[in-house]
């Protein structure tokens, strides 16, 4: 090799090129570490046109700055995104750099539709279950209650919208909706009445049961104004319980009405 001039020249050229590359890399690293590239500003923007109702820009920015490592060049944008998405009420975040010392973070906020389960979680209008301050979510009005097996959130959300339209002719609004582990539906309406709709045997089962109830409900409340529960799982009928409802004992005969004696 030492007698091969071409090989020596090629080796020397390669070493020279590596040296140049190392110098360039060192120079780029040195420049990237200059204080001018330290992150000084995080600008918070909204995804879409809706204002952020529950996320405070100043608090969010200050809490996030202490958890972000690196500078303009070295910070990991995916890590920054995860930091912001871990904040309560934040549904989604996108992050981009802006020269020379700024990050632009766009946020989408959860919009709570109701509560989910018994552990204080919330269900959003997009079917996401998230954890946030329940008192903040109920500032404007009380929230409907939802529950169901894990993974059924979007199905429950869709069914809730259908039930609102199905009960609209009676001017009743669902206030709670539950899907049991056996996939049976129960809805509580804003008049306090609970309706058991049962399992969905076909795509039309629940709609048919609600329609049957809507058709007979005016006659029911005419005689029983304080209905507590209605069970619509019967094919051709229903069962109910109501305040003040009294059922005669089996075999009991109605007492004859007393009439005034006639005088001749």
Please list the ranges in the chain whose pLDDT falls under 50: 25, 27-37, 250-254, 256-264
DSSP 102: E
Stated pTM of the model: 0.76
- Structure-derived torsion over alpha carbons of residues 135, 173, 184, 120, reported in degrees to the nearest 10: 0
What local confidence, expressed as pLDDT, does residue 20 receive? 63
- What pLDDT score does 36 carry? 46
pLDDT at res. 252: 46
Would you state the pLDDT for residue 243? 84
Residues 147-160 pLDDT 10s? 999 999 999 999 99
Ramachandran category for residue 70: left, alpha or beta (phi over 0 → left; psi -120 to 50 → alpha): left
Task: Give the pLDDT of residue 179.
Answer: 98
pLDDT for the residue 53 = 87
Give dist(CA 212, CA 234) in Å, integer. 11
What CA–CA distance (Å, rounded) separates 211 from 84? 46
CB-based contact 52:37 (threshold 8 Å):
no
Q: In this structure, what are the phi and psi dihedrals at residue 109, rounded to the nearest 5 degrees? A: -100, 145
Segment holding 223, helix H or strand E: helix 205-223
């Amino acid at each position: 090799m030492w007698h091969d001039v071409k090989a020596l020249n090629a080796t020397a050229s390669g070493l020279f090129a590596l040296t140049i590359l190392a110098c360039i890399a060192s120079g780029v690293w040195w420049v990237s570490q200059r204080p001018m590239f330290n992150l000084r500003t995080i600008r918070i923007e909204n995804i879409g046109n809706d204002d952020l109702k529950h996320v405070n820009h100043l608090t969010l920015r200050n809490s996030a700055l202490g958890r972000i490592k690196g500078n303009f060049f070295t910070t990991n944008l995916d890590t920054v995104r995860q930091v912001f998405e871990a904040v309560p009420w934040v549904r989604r975040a996108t992050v981009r750099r802006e020269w020379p010392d700024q990050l632009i973070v766009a946020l989408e906020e959860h919009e709570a539709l109701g509560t989910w389960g018994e552990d204080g979680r919330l269900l959003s209008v997009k079917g996401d279950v998230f954890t946030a301050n329940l008192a903040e979510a109920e500032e404007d009005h009380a929230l409907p209650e939802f529950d169901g097996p894990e993974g059924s959130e979007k199905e429950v959300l869709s069914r809730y919208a259908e039930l609102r339209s199905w009960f609209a002719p009676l001017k009743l609004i669902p206030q709670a909706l539950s899907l049991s582990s056996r996939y049976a539906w129960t809805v509580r309406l804003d008049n306090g009445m609970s309706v058991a709709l049962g399992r969905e045997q076909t795509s039309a089962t629940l709609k048919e049961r609600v329609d049957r109830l809507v058709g007979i409900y005016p006659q029911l409340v005419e005689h029983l104004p304080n209905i507590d529960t209605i069970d619509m799982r019967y094919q051709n009928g229903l069962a109910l319980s109501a305040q003040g409802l009294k059922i005669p004992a089996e075999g009991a005969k109605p007492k004859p009405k007393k009439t005034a004696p006639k005088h001749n």
